[in-house]
Amino acid sequence: MSKRSNECNISEKVKKKVWERDGHQCIICGSPYAKPNAHYIRRSQGGLGIEENVVTLCNQCHHEFDNGNGRVSIGYKIQWYLNSCYDNWDEEKLIYKKWRN
């Protein structure tokens, strides 16, 4: 497994923390049938598997965010939510960079 793949994976520890942070439900619709496995910054774009980049979504909201017409509107909601959860939340810190300063 490459270093990038490893950095983008979501560990069980992160999933537990995100599940707790998100109140055991989808942060968009409130469904309890959700999983803490949605990257805000996509893995394909180098999105890290860290708490600040992962949210809990149900299958329907996750699908709409990844593939549907909801990419922009759900993206804004996730961005607002994560920004409200973390002081100094910064999208640039959510992306894998081979050489970090």
> Cβ distance 22 to 36 under 8 Å?
yes
Q: What is the pTM of this model?
A: 0.91
Instruction: Look at residue 68 in the predicted model and tell me its pLDDT.
Output: 79
Q: Among residues 63, 49, 52, which one has the least CA distance to residue 11? A: 49
Helices (H), the chain: 3-8, 12-21, 59-67, 71-85
Q: How confident is the model at residue 101 (pLDDT cuts 50, 70, 90)?
A: very low
Which domains does the chain carry? 3-88 (1.10.30)
> Cβ distance 41 to 48 under 8 Å?
yes
Cα four-point dihedral sign 55, 71, 64, 96: negative
